[in-house]
Structure 1
Amino acid sequence: MQAHLLGERSRVFEQADPYAVSGYVNQHVGNHCIRLSRSSSPQASLNHSKFASLDLCRISYGGSVRVTSPALETIYHLQVLLRGNCLWRGHRQEHYFAPGELLLINPDDPVDLTYSDDCEKFIVKMPTSLLESVCQEQRWLHPGQGVRFLENRYQLDELEGFVNLLGMVCQEAEASERMPRIQEHYTQIVVSKMLSLMKTNVRRLSLGSRSANFELIADYIERNLKQDICSEELARQAQMSLRSLYGLFERNAATTPKNYIRQKKLERVNACLSDPTCTVRNVTELAMDYGFLHLGRFSESYRKQFGELPSDTLKRRH
């Protein structure tokens, strides 16, 4: 691998106690537990640099170690194996990672890794909010539960230009003069590149593309039901005229955008009121969450659509 991924300027530990290194990782890179082989007396090393909203880390425990964690929760890990090997266990399968291979760990993935004595890794920690903000800026669509990488193993040399991009990020991270705006640009590029090169649940077709259809616009509405979506805003998002938007809704839903949005909001309220697992303090609070500020009109619209008052729906689920 040609790229230089973190050097002396970011060195934090050298020939150190693995548990001290593990404690630092817990603070900056992600919660985990380590178990060392009793026969070893490893000397761990770690380089770390904060880079905008990313954390860059180069780590070696210097001995065989098992690293486990229930889940990373609000972060993704991109891990590149530099030396040695690493056994990954997950989803009823195992894989020995070799140098040049990349592992992607989603926020809800449990972590179970065993490092060889000579294993060294480069890790990029990314917050979930960063990936979502890139999708929002690019107008890419993803399910409401968040962005997910559908494949977790890649050969780094198969990801065009990616290793060189990581090298440039590390070079910028260790520059004598740090420039926050440039760092932000690099983080956006890294995430955009990942979402473009790797298999995810993100649909990179934007609302305003020629191939945009009613399903894409309906999906956008579903993901933003608590927002105040007016027809003009929807037309701007879809990059079409109001007349074209109205025509699209007439052909596909036999109604206007405004009525369609109100209907979907009412359906979401009904689903919440009907579901015992959904926390609802009272009907008024839930209605206002979805933008129904005139409670009398809300109750009447709800009754017309579902044949009962919202309070009756709430009572029936107990």
Structure 2
Amino acid sequence: MQSLLSDRSRIFDRADPYAVSGYVNQHVGTHDLRLPAHGHPQASLNHRRFASLDLCRISYGGAVRVTTPALESIFHLQILLSGHCLWRGHRQEHYLTPGELLLINPDDPVDLTYSDDCEKFILKVPVNLLEAICAEQRWSHPRQGVRFTENRYRLGELEGFVNLLSMVCQESEAGERLPRIDEHYQQIVASKLLTLLKTNVSREVVVGASASFERIEAYIEGHLREDIDIEMLARQSAMSLRSLYALFERYAGTTPRQYIRRLKLARIHACLSDPARPVRSVTELALDYGFLHLGRFAESYRQQFGELPSETLRRRS
């Protein structure tokens, strides 16, 4: 893994760790650095900007501790090259060893302690790059955004990935670079991350150009607790808004928004009617399905089912 950034990318060599930390805060990710009580560690850092990615090779030369509440708008992929690193997170801790990869989500707290001989390669990936890949491929993910559901891997488990990173590092150090080529490479890296690592992304396209209304209906039913955006539904259905409205008019006799509301109300009615389903209150159930105006919700429910939701709930008991 010596090919993950050479000395041509050297920014600091045997430098003050706080100077290196300040540079990292500017380019790689905001953090707090705590130095050991004794000794004078010397830090080194190699860095390249590559399209919207940041490539970084770093060692602090001492048992430093790096913390931050969250990375907010970026993902960190960290590969341990030498030494060891203690990671603390989610009520667990793990000693990373050379060849292990750690993936840190934007809302994950960071708490890492480096050994004296620890050296890492860090890939910084902006959130909007992964979300753009999902939109382009018509892959779906929850409203809170793309997240990696497992954060530790051995490089040997990720076929070809370290070779891809090595190629990207070499391209970043080339004498002549073309922005268009850099962008192609970053697209490949981001797509590899989404396919090789475990995420909350569903790579099954909701519908293709000739897919049926039934598949759109199944998607809606699977996301009823979410605020389903009609334009997003059209994009994932690979059709224009006009075509989507025409499809709903043909098969459901109504608009997409009215159809979604009808299904949400039907799901609430089923919950209120079934004694086996725990319901603490009508208000809580309505809010769960995105009905913020309770008066309008009650009236829509009455029009669809001929009674108020409170009457349905009272009748089942």
Residue of structure 1 in register with 2:238 after alignment:
236
Q: Would the aligned equivalents of 2:220 and 2:260 in 1 still touch at CA under 8 Å?
A: no
Distance 1:98 1:224 in 2: 43
- Matching of residue 96 in structure 1 with residue 95 in structure 2: yes
Residue of structure 1 in register with 2:109 after alignment:
110
CA RMSD of aligned residues (A): 3.4
Q: Would the aligned equivalents of 1:208 and 1:237 in 2 still touch at CA under 8 Å?
A: no
1:305 to 287, 300, 308: 300
Residue of structure 1 in register with 2:292 after alignment:
272
Residue of structure 2 in register with 1:294 after alignment:
none
Q: Would the aligned equivalents of 2:59 and 2:117 in 1 still touch at CA under 8 Å?
A: yes
Residue of structure 2 in register with 1:216 after alignment:
219
Tell me by how many angstroms 1:10 deviates: 1.3
Distance 1:246 1:114 in 2: 56
- Matching of residue 77 in structure 1 with residue 79 in structure 2: no
Structure 1 208/68 Cα, relative in aligned 2: closer, same or farther at 3 Å? same
Tell me by how many angstroms 1:215 deviates: 2.8
Tell me by how many angstroms 1:229 deviates: 7.0
Residue of structure 2 in register with 1:62 after alignment:
61
What is the TM-score of this pair, normalised by structure 1?
A: 0.76
Distance 1:54 1:234 in 2: 27
Q: Would the aligned equivalents of 2:87 and 2:112 in 1 still touch at CA under 8 Å?
A: yes
Q: Would the aligned equivalents of 2:138 and 2:236 in 1 still touch at CA under 8 Å?
A: no
Structure 1 26/86 Cα, relative in aligned 2: closer, same or farther at 3 Å? same
Q: Which amino acid aligns with 1:28?
A: H
- Matching of residue 193 in structure 1 with residue 192 in structure 2: yes
Tell me by how many angstroms 1:123 deviates: 0.3
Structure 1 197/51 Cα, relative in aligned 2: closer, same or farther at 3 Å? same
SS of alignment partner, residue 80 of structure 1 = strand
Q: Would the aligned equivalents of 2:139 and 2:205 in 1 still touch at CA under 8 Å?
A: yes
Residue of structure 2 in register with 1:21 after alignment:
20
Residue of structure 2 in register with 1:33 after alignment:
32
SS of alignment partner, residue 123 of structure 2 = strand
Distance 1:122 1:230 in 2: 39
Tell me by how many angstroms 1:32 deviates: 0.5
How is 1:39-54 mapped onto 2 (pairs within 5 angstroms)?
A: 39-54=38-53
Q: Which amino acid aligns with 2:155?
A: L
1:215-258 C-alpha deviation (Å, 9 max, x unpaired): 32556898774555797x775349xx8799559965xxx96646
Distance 2:31 2:245 in 1: 55
Residue of structure 2 in register with 1:171 after alignment:
170
Tell me by how many angstroms 1:196 deviates: 0.7
Structure 1 128/235 Cα, relative in aligned 2: closer, same or farther at 3 Å? closer
SS of alignment partner, residue 272 of structure 1 = coil
1:29-68 C-alpha deviation (Å, 9 max, x unpaired): 1111111112221110001111111111000001110111
Q: Which amino acid aligns with 1:101?
A: E
Structure 1 30/264 Cα, relative in aligned 2: closer, same or farther at 3 Å? farther
Gaps of 5+ in 1: 275-298, 309-318
Structure 1 125/74 Cα, relative in aligned 2: closer, same or farther at 3 Å? same
Gaps of 5+ in 2: 266-285, 304-317
Distance 2:151 2:175 in 1: 34
